[in-house]
């Protein structure tokens, strides 16, 4: 870590479902301690790690009292143990904004000292000074970041976090971003504008590793993701299949694209982690959605997937539609109607319809769609 700044967080190696819906292989809950003329803690940790967290604070602070607790985010995995810290250090001052304390009062009552700060206000700890940067709806209304002007460290709340204890940052941070923050692209853009001109040497998120070096890589990805631009040129194929005909259709298109050196990924929506599929749908510039017709509508897993795209403001993408049905294929009509609710969706003119089993004639339809797609990638 940075001089005088300590990571006092905890690894949750048992959790397999984050926020009740995201499949994960563990999670990191970060909290930070700054040892200066004033001793300052930034954020708490999840419920099960309060004793471990307090022990870390005692070991580092020794006989010194903790002067401040900066509350960046009131979500329970970061605020649950605030009361424990107040009980341990009753003279502590809680620092937050008006929204912070509005939400805090809904969780528990405390007589601790409170300091309400404003956007861009600076708190001196000695040589370290924290400048508060409000980040409303990234992804709760009270969220604020803190920028240490001495070390160039950005304490970014949930922003720049990631799922899992292992795994590449780009992939797991994308899943985290599009799952949790993706709906709030305009709000992320507003915060990024506030960061322009700041010399950021390190990013300390509440989840995942401390980011050091090549900071522009992480900031640029957040800029791309939050502006809903595609990060990569390539194709994501997502399908729902009852008896395998939609699957065979998609596998044929997948092989054709792959043989032509197109970056392509394929997912069975009934079996895949939908949040992983969502992240790739937002990162790549072309999406193919294939669905069996089911009760005159989309197959349920496809319907849920498209609704999840819409909830997160899916836009600025090329989209191809494929449907199957034995007597009345209607999935394309339903998919198009839902996807047209989004901005700047460019549909390929060729819609593929498979009736019954996957046959040679269906290959001809897919070849036509393939040629339309290759006009983009040649």
Domain ranges of the chain: 5-226, 232-377
Q: Maximum distance among all alpha carbons in the chain?
A: 79
* Helix, strand, coil distribution of the chain in percent, nearest 5: 35, 25, 40
User: Residues 20-52: pLDDT tens digits?
Assistant: 999 999 999 999 999 999 999 999 999 899 999
Of all residues in the chain, the percent with pLDDT exceeding 90 is 88
Q: What is the DSSP letter of 66?
A: P
Judge contact between 186 and 138, C-beta under 8 A: no
Alpha-carbon distance of 336 to 42, in angstroms, equals 46
Extract the tokens encoding 74.
């009131």
Q: From residue 25, how far is each of 5, 136, 159, 294 by CA, in Å?
A: 27, 29, 19, 34
Where residue 214 falls among pLDDT bands split at 50, 70, 90?
Answer: very high
Whether 2 shows a pLDDT value over 80: the answer reads no
Extract the tokens encoding 145.
């970041």
Q: Which helix (H) or strand (E) segment is 104 a member of?
A: helix 98-107
User: Comparing C-alpha atoms, which of 201, 220, 223 is closest to residue 212?
Assistant: 201
User: Residues 246-264: pLDDT tens digits?
Assistant: 999 999 999 999 999 999 9
Q: How far is CA 50 from the centre of its chain?
A: 25
To the nearest 10°, the Cα dihedral for 52, 212, 17, 292? 180
According to DSSP H, which parts of 196-326 are helical?
Answer: 215-226, 245-259, 274-283, 300-311
Extract the tokens encoding 108.
């528990």
Extract the tokens encoding 126.
């000695």
Extract the tokens encoding 98.
């008006």
Whether 172 shows a pLDDT value over 90: the answer reads yes
Of all residues in the chain, the percent with pLDDT exceeding 70 is 100
Q: What pLDDT is recorded for position 1?
A: 66
In sequence order, the 6+-apart residues with CB closer than 8 A to the CB of 152 are: 198, 199, 200, 201, 202
- According to DSSP, the residues that pair with 204 across neighbouring strands are 155
Average of pLDDT values for 229-235?
97
Alpha-carbon distance of 179 to 175, in angstroms, equals 6
List the CATH code of the domain at 5-226: 3.60.15.10
In sequence order, the 6+-apart residues with CB closer than 8 A to the CB of 6 are: 32, 33, 34, 35, 56, 60
Where residue 200 falls among pLDDT bands split at 50, 70, 90?
Answer: very high
User: Residues 89-142: pLDDT tens digits?
Assistant: 999 999 999 999 999 998 888 889 999 999 999 999 999 999 999 999 999 999
Where residue 151 falls among pLDDT bands split at 50, 70, 90?
Answer: very high
The answer to whether domain 232-377 has CATH 3.40.50.360 is yes
User: Residues 65-93: pLDDT tens digits?
Assistant: 999 999 999 998 888 899 999 999 999 99
Judge contact between 116 and 73, C-beta under 8 A: no
- Kindly report the average pLDDT of the chain as a whole number: 95
Judge contact between 321 and 286, C-beta under 8 A: no
User: Residues 267-304: pLDDT tens digits?
Assistant: 999 999 999 999 999 999 999 999 999 998 999 999 99
Judge contact between 96 and 142, C-beta under 8 A: yes
Alpha-carbon distance of 81 to 317, in angstroms, equals 43
Q: From residue 346, how far is each of 135, 259, 278, 321 by CA, in Å?
A: 32, 24, 18, 11
Calculate ∠ Cα 174-176-179, nearest 5°: 100
- Map tokens 């349920």 to a residue: 300
Q: What is the DSSP code string of 299-359?
A: -HHHHHHHHHHHHTT--SEEEEEEEE-SS---HHHHHHHHHTTSSSEEE-S--EEE-SS--
- Map tokens 């983009």 to a residue: 376
Extract the tokens encoding 40.
């300052």
Where residue 186 falls among pLDDT bands split at 50, 70, 90?
Answer: very high
**Helix (H) and strand (E) counts for the chain?**
12, 23
């Amino acid at each position: 870590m940075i001089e005088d700044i300590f990571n006092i967080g905890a690894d949750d190696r048992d959790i397999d479902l984050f926020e009740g819906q995201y499949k994960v292989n563990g999670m990191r809950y970060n909290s930070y301690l700054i040892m200066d003329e004033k001793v300052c803690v930034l954020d708490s940790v999840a419920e099960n790690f309060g004793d471990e967290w307090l022990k870390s604070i005692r070991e580092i602070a020794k006989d010194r009292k903790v002067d401040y607790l900066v509350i960046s985010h009131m979500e329970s995995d970061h605020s649950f143990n605030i009361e424990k810290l107040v009980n341990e250090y009753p003279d502590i001052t809680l620092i937050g904004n008006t929204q912070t304390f509005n939400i805090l009062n809904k969780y528990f009552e405390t007589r601790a000292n409170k300091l309400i700060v404003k956007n861009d206000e600076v708190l001196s700890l000695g040589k370290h000074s924290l400048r508060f940067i409000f980040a409303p709806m990234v992804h709760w209304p009270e969220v604020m970041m803190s920028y240490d002007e001495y070390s160039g460290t950005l304490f970014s709340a949930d922003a720049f976090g990631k799922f899992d204890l292992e795994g590449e940052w780009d992939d797991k941070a994308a899943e985290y971003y599009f799952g949790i923050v993706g709906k709030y692209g305009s709000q992320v853009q507003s915060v990024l504008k506030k960061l322009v001109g700041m010399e950021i040497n390190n990013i300390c998120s509440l989840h995942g590793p401390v980011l050091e070096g090549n900071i522009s890589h992480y900031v640029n990805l957040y800029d791309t993701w939050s502006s809903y631009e595609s990060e990569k040129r390539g194709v994501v194929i997502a399908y729902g299949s009852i008896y395998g005909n939609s699957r065979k259709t998609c596998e044929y298109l997948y092989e054709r694209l792959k043989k032509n050196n197109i970056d392509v990924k394929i997912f069975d929506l009934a079996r895949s982690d939908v949040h992983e599929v969502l992240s790739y749908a937002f990162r790549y510039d072309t999406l193919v959605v294939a669905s069996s017709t089911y009760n005159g509508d989309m197959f349920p897993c496809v319907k849920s997937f498209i609704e999840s795209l819409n909830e997160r403001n899916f836009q600025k993408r090329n989209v191809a539609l494929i449907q199957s049905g034995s007597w009345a294929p209607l999935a394309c009509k339903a998919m198009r109607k839902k996807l047209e609710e989004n901005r700047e969706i460019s549909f390929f003119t060729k819609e593929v319809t498979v009736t019954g089993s996957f046959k040679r004639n269906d290959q001809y339809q897919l070849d036509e769609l393939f040629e339309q797609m290759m006009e983009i990638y040649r």
